[in-house]
Structure 1
Amino acid sequence: MASTSHLTILTGASRGMGLAMAEQLLDAGHELLCISRKTNDALTARAQARGLRLEQWPQDLARPDAAAAKLETWLAAHGEGDLAGVTLINNAGVIPTIAPVGDIAAADLSQALRVGLEAPMLLTGAFLRATVAWKCQRKVLNISSGLGRRAMASQAAYCAAKAGMDHFTRCVALEEEQRGRHGAKVCSLAPGVIDTDMQVQLRSADPDRFPDVGNFQGMKSRGMLTSPAEAAARVLAFLAREDFGANAVADVRG
């Protein structure tokens, strides 16, 4: 009988859509490794109740080299075993001070790019190296944003990180195509507009420094935001599609 077990590695799993994805992956029976700044006790209890293996690393992704090295070592020790599939979901991201780029401290800009772009690049490289000989299905899902495809004032770091993630994913997709049927399937996916702490940040910004603040306030007042649980379900349904990876850059609403 073919194995149905799956291993998913998920960053930014302690809150928001990341937490909702972690909960739904556990409910679906996945073995889970979560990499976040903080661990979540409720996730641990959920996994224990289902008899599933869950590991949570309290890892600062502003140190992506350390996180990537740890992941590569962990995957090598874990081995493929009888897995039917292994997936990396790069979900973590941060918005620095919402202001014109000249008003943002260099350290804040650096952190946003390390967490939002450098970490996904390094973790993807570690994941692909560690699993290159595995015969099971391999996938990389990078959580992008519409702001990676549309410029916005006072969002330079976030927009740049997501645009970089999109183009990075295009490059990796071309590389993995060269491996034929052994290549990983990769996609950079915009998940829609989600009612998370990040949206609270945007709605609460100073209008004098963030000219688009009214648009975000309007989306909230008109009920246009998706709940984290609903967004997670849509993203995971997209991940499960037979044609996942057919387009390296996609939007869950498309």
Structure 2
Amino acid sequence: MDRRHLTILTGASRGLGRAMAEQLLGPQRLLLTIERRPDPALAALAAQRGAQLEQWSQDLSEPLEAAQRLAHWLGELSPAAIASATLINNAAVLPHIGPLQSCPADELSRAVRVGLEAAMHLTATFLRTSDRWVAEYGWDGPRRVLNISSGLGRYPMAGQAAYCAVKAGLDHFSRCTALDEARRPNGARIVSLAPGVIDTDMQEQMRAGDPAGFPDKGRFLQLHAQGLLTPAHEAARRVLAWLDRPDFGDPCVADVRHA
């Protein structure tokens, strides 16, 4: 039986997520993408490369629903057909830029649900199911969870309370989960990785912010003007290379720029 490397990727519709999805496609991989809408171009590329791709249109602001769907899907897989299992929590939402009290309640809630709550539920589901593979089938493939964090999770910025809090939450939940997994036989390895400053739609939102509520707007305008934003395809290459490191998981909280 041919064994495939299973990768689950959230937020694959654009930017870094789309670039990672494209680079992950290959004949030895089973790739599940969870995004707002399926991408016909990605499906065509998968067929061209002989890759097994499944795309879900799933609203991650309903994290319990997403986790239940993932649990059912993983439960239908044969562990004997899986060489390794990786979850990449990449999905994020940038809510209104400005002081916390100016952020609409629905945007604030969506940012936390998509960026942090969904990541925690999906990680719990991924670990729970793969734990069962280990216990019931003696599966011994490597398990990895990669959370896409941000420098803003480690450095405070005015006008970014919600986004900074979500990314800080990713970092700390990764640290705690890594401690739990280190105590288990064949435990998963966990990393929360800042991917650098990337040329994405989110950067455009930053540059369009109102300086009255976002005093650091000039910094983002300068990064763009000086050509210091990393193209999404290059950022994706660096992030995926991190997954292949023999020391993946040490450190648990990392930055691609500190490789």
TM superposition score normalised by structure 1: 0.96
SS at match of 1:84: strand
C-alpha contact 2:26 2:51 (8 A) present in aligned 1: no
CA distance in structure 2 between the partners assigned to 1:187 and 1:28 by the alignment:
26
1:106 offset after TM fit, Å?
Answer: 1.3
1:106-185 equivalent positions in 2, closer than 5 A: 106-132=105-131, 133=134, 134-180=139-185, 182-185=186-189
1:99 offset after TM fit, Å?
Answer: 1.2
CA distance in structure 2 between the partners assigned to 1:100 and 1:9 by the alignment:
34
Using the TM superposition, name which of 194-203 and 206-215 deviates more.
206-215
Aligned residue in 2 for 1:32? 31
Using the TM superposition, name which of 96-105 and 224-233 deviates more.
96-105
1:4 offset after TM fit, Å?
Answer: 6.1
CA distance in structure 2 between the partners assigned to 1:217 and 1:57 by the alignment:
35
CA distance in structure 2 between the partners assigned to 1:18 and 1:222 by the alignment:
24
Q: Cα deviation per residue 1:51-84 (whole Å; 9 max; x = unaligned)? A: 2211100001000100011101111111312322
Question: Does 2:234 correspond to 1:230?
Answer: yes
1:38 offset after TM fit, Å?
Answer: 1.2
Identity of aligned residues (%): 58
Aligned residue in 2 for 1:93? 92
AA paired with 1:253? R
TM superposition score normalised by structure 2: 0.95
C-alpha contact 2:27 2:52 (8 A) present in aligned 1: no
CA distance in structure 1 between the partners assigned to 2:190 and 2:27 by the alignment:
21
Using the TM superposition, name which of 24-33 and 196-205 deviates more.
24-33
SS at match of 1:78: coil
AA paired with 1:147? L
SS at match of 2:6: strand
AA paired with 1:177? A
Aligned residue in 2 for 1:215? 219
CA distance in structure 1 between the partners assigned to 2:128 and 2:190 by the alignment:
15
| 5+ long unaligned stretches in structure 1 | none
1:12-27 equivalent positions in 2, closer than 5 A: 12-27=11-26
Aligned residue in 1 for 2:200? 196
Using the TM superposition, name which of 61-70 and 72-81 deviates more.
72-81
Aligned residue in 2 for 1:62? 61
SS at match of 2:23: helix
AA paired with 2:213? R
| 5+ long unaligned stretches in structure 2 | none
Aligned residue in 1 for 2:49? 50
C-alpha contact 2:3 2:28 (8 A) present in aligned 1: no
Q: Cα deviation per residue 1:109-157 (whole Å; 9 max; x = unaligned)? A: 1110000100000000000001112321110000000000000111000
C-alpha contact 2:27 2:51 (8 A) present in aligned 1: no
